[in-house]
Structure 1
Amino acid sequence: MELVFGPVPSRRLGRSLGINNIPPPKKCSYSCIYCQLGRTWELTIERRRFHDSRSIADAVGLRISEVGGQIDYITFVPDGEPTLDRLLGEEVKLIREVSDKPLAILTNSSLIFRSDVRADLLDFDLVSIKMDALSEGVWRRVNRPHPSLSLAEILEGLKIFARDFSGKLIVETMLIDGVNTFSGELESIANFLRKIEPDKAYLAIPTRPPAEGWVKPAAEEKLVEAYEIFKEVLGAGRVELLTGYEGSGFQLGRDPVKDLLAISSIHPIRVDYAIQILSRRGERAEEVIGRLIDRGELKLAEYRGRKFLIRGFRK
């Protein structure tokens, strides 16, 4: 498994060099119905060691030397929940020794009730959290959390963290048709976000194949309603929609096939874009993709009329 991949394009982070600090198959404290990585194989809240911290820092330094300076953030965005890694804080310190690029993390914030997790997150320049529901029933339906987790404890942990954090805090809310798009739920989310004062609140819809085939993106009128509710509570400058595929600006290293596999384990890729990036590197793109599919290393998935490539170890 590649520890570092990309950079990949992100509207939130620009060109993001990804760190996969949680090895596959997917280990997470949630099993969200919309997750582009599929269902969670190991539902857990146990923090443990997954890699040697120095190996991650060395892999980051090597990748930066390969791709040059076209990186806006170095981002922990693994196949699972990054705060399950108990060496996370140590990895951040070692990465700062090999790069001066800002560090970001995308977390579902489910473990933020723990003081050790908050301490690790305080070392980042940017923290992106999830906030898909404020009521217990909707939270359990959307995020399908580990049974020992408490929504009330998570919300309290978020308030403590937001008070202490001096970096950039952003929030993403995934809107699922008929699940968390009711006016009362949207108002509750927005009112809680006002308490933690994020720099930006993103309203998103699924744009890649979700874990559950019945999941549908919120209808256009619900997106507008959500935007208006959030804007009224948080202010227009703090609310933005994330409703489109983020593009084909993936950057491959010396082994484009290995990089394609690494990226597709975290970030499902449209088939037409995969063909483009492999062809630019002189590969017989369709033959390569077909061979990887035949070997089970890649799988095809279709969502909203488009075909995507995903890694073959999904559940």
Structure 2
Amino acid sequence: MQVRDTGGEIDYLTFVPDGEPTLDKNLGIEIMMLKQLMISIAVITVDEVSQEIWRKIDRSFKSLDLTKILEGIKKFSTEFKGVLISETMLVNNIEYGGEFEKIAVYLSSLKNLKTSYISIPTRPPAEEWAKPPEEEILNEAFQIFENKLKDRVEYLIGYEGNAFAYSGNIEEDLLSITAVHPMREEAVKELLEKDRGDLSKIETLIKKGAIRKVNYQGHTYYLRKFR
């Protein structure tokens, strides 16, 4: 693979939501084919248990039934032999009410759940209103989750770092990564260093209209710009 050829390491091949990956009827076939590469595979999926909040945050297609999705995840947890991890992202200006208790109860019903992460938006979100919640909300969620899940609860609220793989084609890398994962400026600089380049390459992509630059919580980020 190109990443390995350039000396990079691959921890996981990840199906990242640009929409809901588990709605792809060929997902199972795709995973079986990728397993031949002998690399661990991760699939990131849904994150709420109440219809109203799920519709507001996930903006799901109207015909989808959250009850069936949750039942499917529960069934999957009884059959899956890999590492099962949940992530619940909290945002500001949402009336959670008793939602934390409902999520905690549901998560505690999943078989073989290793870790339950409570996260916040650490990168520019799709909607400007999706801001990190107040510290009191985070603490409330953590306490409720911990009551049901004990030592399996962790925060995921810090910057994830700059460990992005370089394939040898810097323009393709920048466009592919920023399409699903906003990159902080220092991460872009570090990736460009692997290509012996400078910020002029990202500026060229901005001028072409392929990437846009935004400020979020005091940092500069680069995102893929879709027409």
TM-score in same-fold range (> 0.5): yes
Q: Which of 62, 72, 75 is the equivalent residue of 2:14?
A: 75
Question: 1:221 aligned to 122, 126, 136, which one?
Answer: 136
- Aligned to 1:310, which of 219, 223, 226? 223
Are 1:299 and 2:219 an aligned pair?
no
What CA distance in whole angstroms lies between the structure 2 residues aligned with 1:91 and 1:180? Answer: 38
RMSD across aligned positions (CA): 1.9
Question: Residue by residue, what CA displacement relative to the aligned partner does 1:168-224 show, whole Å, maximum 9, x if unpaired?
Answer: 211110101131544x11111101111114211110000111111122111112111
After superposing the two structures, state which structure 1 stretch, 185-194 or 248-257, moved more: 248-257
Deviation of 1:281 after TM superposition, in Å, equals 2.4
- Displacement of 1:247: 0.7
Residue identity opposite 2:9 in structure 1: Q
Show the 5 A alignment for 1:142-161: 142-161=57-76
After TM superposition, the runs of 4+ consecutive aligned structure 1 residues lying more than 6 A away are none
* 2:29 counterpart residue number: 90
User: What displacement does 1:277 show?
Assistant: 2.3
Q: TM-score, normalised by structure 2?
A: 0.91
AA at the equivalent of 1:212: E
For residues 17 and 88 of structure 2, the distance between their equivalents in structure 1, rounded to whole angstroms, comes to 19
Write the distance in 1 (CA, Å) between the matches of 2:196 and 2:4: 22
Q: Secondary structure at the match of 1:201?
A: strand
Unaligned segments of structure 2, at least 5 residues: none
Name the structure 2 match of 1:231: 146
5+ residue gaps, structure 1:
1-61, 109-130
Corresponding letter in the other structure for 2:172: K
**What code does the residue aligned with 2:207 have?**
D
Q: How does 1:9-28 map to 2 (within 5 A)?
A: none
Q: CA offset at residue 291 of structure 1? A: 1.2
Specify the code of the residue in structure 1 equivalent to 2:182: P
The residue identity in structure 2 corresponding to 1:262 is: S
- Does the aligned pair in 2 maintain the 1:171–1:201 contact within 8 Å? yes
**Structure 1 residue corresponding to 2:92, chosen from 177, 190, 194:** 177
Do the aligned partners of residues 102 and 280 (structure 1) sit closer, same or farther apart at CA in structure 2, a change above 3 Å counting? closer
Following the alignment from structure 2 to structure 1, what is the Cα–Cα distance between the partners of residues 88 and 17? 19
How far 1:107 sits from its partner (Å)?
A: 2.1
The 5-angstrom pairing of residues 79-118 of structure 1 reads 79-97=18-36, 99-108=37-46
Deviation track 1:58-80 (CA, whole Å, cap 9, x = no partner) reads xxxx2354245722222222533
- Identity level (%): 42
* Structure 1 residue 231 displacement after superposition: 0.6
Aligned runs of 1:123-142 on 2, under 5 Å?
A: 131-132=47-48, 134-142=49-57
Give, in whole Å, the separation in 2 of the partners of 1:69 and 1:257: 17
For residues 6 and 142 of structure 2, what CA distance do their matches in structure 1 show?
Answer: 37
Change (3 A) 1:96 1:155: closer
Determine helix, strand or coil for the equivalent of 1:252.
coil
TM-score by length of 1: 0.67
Higher helix share: 2
**More deviation, 212-221/272-281:** 272-281
Q: Which amino acid aligns with 2:76?
A: F
Decide whether the 8 Å contact of 2:162 with 2:186 is kept in 1: no
Match of 1:44 in 2: none
Counterpart of 1:257 in structure 2: which amino acid?
E
Q: Describe the superposition over 1:114-159 as per-residue Cα deviations: whole angstroms up to 9, x where unpaired.
A: xxxxxxxxxxxxxxxxx23x22222221222111112222222222
For these two proteins, the number of residue pairs brought into alignment is: 226
Secondary structure, aligned partner of 2:199: helix
Q: What is the deviation of 1:303?
A: 1.5
Q: Which has the higher contact order (CA 8 A, sep 6+)?
A: 1
CA shift digits 1:31-78 (9 cap, x unpaired): xxxxxxxxxxxxxxxxxxxxxxxxxxxxxxx23542457222222225
In 2, are the aligned partners of 1:175 and 1:181 still within 8 Å (CA)? no
Greater shift in the superposed pair: 66-75 or 212-221: 66-75
Contact 1:181–1:222 at 8 Å: present in 2 too?
Answer: no
